Structure 1
Amino acid sequence: MDIRTIGKTPLAVTQFGFGGAAIGGLYRECTQEAAMETLQTAWDAGMRYFDTAPFYGFGLSERRTGDFLRSKPRETYVLSTKVGRLLRPVPENQVPDYSYVNPLPFTVDYDYSYDGIMRAFEFSYARLGLNKIDILYVHDIGVYTHGVEKNTVYQRQLLDSGMRALDELKTSGAISAYGLGVNEVEVCLDVIARSPIDCILLAGRYSLLDRAAERGLLEVCRERKISLVIGGVFNSGILATGPVPGANFDYGPASDDILGRVRSMQKIAEANSIPLAAAAMQFPLREPVVANVLIGTAKPSSLTRNMELLKVDVPDSVYAAVEPFTIR
């Protein structure tokens, strides 16, 4: 598997990595055995970049990721997790519903301040059971998650003191890189204008269907040598399932407009005898600032099937033909 560097750092990642939300029970239960089997399948496929977060199963994904990686030589993989949320224990009947099935008994509090980020970092060490975290992402800062009013407060926390914490951690060698882990372009541009970052984990905004990152972000990343890690390459599923009834886009049911766009894309793919999902998986890596594409699943069979899509030759003409149906 090809290797790409993260920003201006010496840190290098495999071009495909494992996203840990599903092994935290996102949308459906994932047993410990299934999580370990899926992680082993990712490792056997050549993935050496693993991303997790406290939010994924309220600590469950971090624990499982750490359990798996603990037996691997530390220099052979890259690990990222996230800050911005602190976990707080609550009775089982007070565990909030964020679409995680059987999460650990915690709720989440947002804190993007210096102290909040330092505490989150230390807590992640304990859950992972590992002594080195390579990349820290500031998780879900932005209007998309918080709305305008609350995000004004949280973004001030981050810019006034939170970024200083990240810089100190990198300067000390505790981490090798830091950036944002978000679902929107606007907050990336806001933070880049005020603070240096190494990378952005951008979910769903640079895909075969959704090209929002082309609204200025790609250009800025090229200029400042900021790497993109791309999540949500199937846009919550529709680029994998096609425009079937009940198909999801952006964490909810796809609109008629989205179904129509994907239907047109699928016809083009079928005319060229290729799966639409293959074009979706391979698309982001056509852009040099993209260092990695994350694949998230809790099923070994799904992961294996997705990796088989990398063997499909997708002609440039297909990408040109689907372009009129994209969202920008």
Structure 2
Amino acid sequence: MDIRKIGNTSLAVTQFGFGGAAIGGLYRECTRDAAIKTLQTAWDAGLRYFDTAPFYGFGLSERRTGDFLRAKPRETYVLSTKVGRLLRPVPEDQVPDYSYVNPLPFTVDYDYSYDGIMRSFAFSYARLGLNKVDILFVHDIGAYTHGAEKNAVYLRQLLDSGMRALEELKASGAISAYGLGVNEVEVCLEVIARGPIDCILLAGRYSLLDRSAERGLLEACRKHNISLVIGGVFNSGILATGPVPGANFDYGPASDDVLTRVRAMQDIAEANSIPLAAAAIQFPLREPVVANVLIGTAKPASLTRNLELLSVKVPEAVYAAAAPFTIR
């Protein structure tokens, strides 16, 4: 599997990686056995970049990812996790519903300050059971998650002191790179304007369907040598399922407008005798600043099916024909 560098760092990642939300029970329960089997399938396929977060199953994903990677030689993989949320134990009947099924008994408190980031990082070490994390992403900063008013407070925390924590962790060698892990373009541009970062995990905003990243972010990444890791390549499912009844886009039911756009894209793919999902999973890596595309699932068979899409030759004409139907 091809390797791509992360920004100006010495890190390099396989061009496809494993996203750990699903093994934390996102939308449906995932047993520990299923999680480990899925991680092993990813490893056997050559994936050597693994991304997780405290938020995924309220610690469940980090624990499972660490359990799996602990037996692997440390120099053979790259690991990222996230900061911005602190886990706090609560009674089982007070565990919040963030679409994780049977998560661990915690709630989450947002904290993007120096102390919050340092505490979160230390707690991640304990959950992972590992003594090295390669990349640290600031998770879900931005108005998309918090709304404008609350985000102004959290962004000030990050810019006033949180970034200093990340800089210190990198300078000490505790991490090799840091950046943002978000679902929106605007906050990326705002943070880039305030200081350098190494990479951005951008979910759902540089896909075959949603090209929001083309509104300035790609150019900024090229200028500052910031690498993109792309999550949500199927836009919550619709680029994998097609415009079927009940198809999801951006974490909810797809609108009629989105269904119409995807239907047009599916017709283009079928006219070229390829699956729409193949065009979707291969699309981001056509852009040189994209270092990695994350594939997230909790089923070995689903992961294998997605990886098989990589061998489908997608004509460039498919991307050109699909462009008028994209969201920008």
Structure 1 position 312, deviation (Å):
0.1
1:90 maps onto 2:90 in alignment:
yes
Q: In structure 1, what residue type is equivalent to 2:149?
A: E
Q: Distance in 2 between matches of 1:185 and 1:62?
A: 26
Aligned CA-pair RMSD: 0.2
Partner residue of 1:249?
249
Please say if 1:303 is aligned against 2:297.
no
2:188 partner letter? C
SS for the counterpart of 2:187 is: helix
- Would you say 1:143 and 2:143 are equivalent positions? yes
> Following superposition of structure 1 onto structure 2, how do residues 1-328 of structure 1 map, counting pairs within 5 Å?
1-328=1-328
Aligned-partner Cα distance in 2 for 1:82–1:192: 18
**Distance (whole Å) between structure 1 residues aligned to residue 153 and residue 322 of structure 2:** 40
CA displacement, residues 57-95 of structure 1 (integer Å, 9 cap, x when unaligned): 000000000000000000000000000000000000000
d(CA) in 2 for partners of 1:196, 1:317: 36
Number of paired residues?
Answer: 328
Structure 1 runs (4+) greater than 4 angstroms displaced:
none
What one-letter code is carried by the residue in structure 2 that aligns with 1:151?
N
Residue 185 of structure 1 and its aligned partner are, at CA, apart by 0.0
What amino acid is aligned across from residue 65 of structure 2 in structure 1? T
User: Is the partner of 2:115 in helix, strand or coil?
Assistant: helix
Give the distance between the partners of 2:280 and 2:45, measured in 1 at CA: 19
The TM-score with structure 1 as length reference comes to 1.00
Distance 1:196 1:105 in 2: 36
Secondary structure of 2:207's counterpart equals: coil
The alpha carbon displacement at 1:195 in A equals 1.7
Q: TM-score, normalised by structure 2?
A: 1.00
What amino acid maps onto 1:96 in structure 2?
A: P
Cα offsets for 1:273-294 (capped at 9, x unmatched): 0000000000000000000000
Unaligned runs of 5+ in 1: none
Residues 191-241 of structure 1: CA distance to partner in whole angstroms, max 9, x if unpaired? 000021000000000000000000000000000000000000000000000
Amino acid at match of 1:103: P
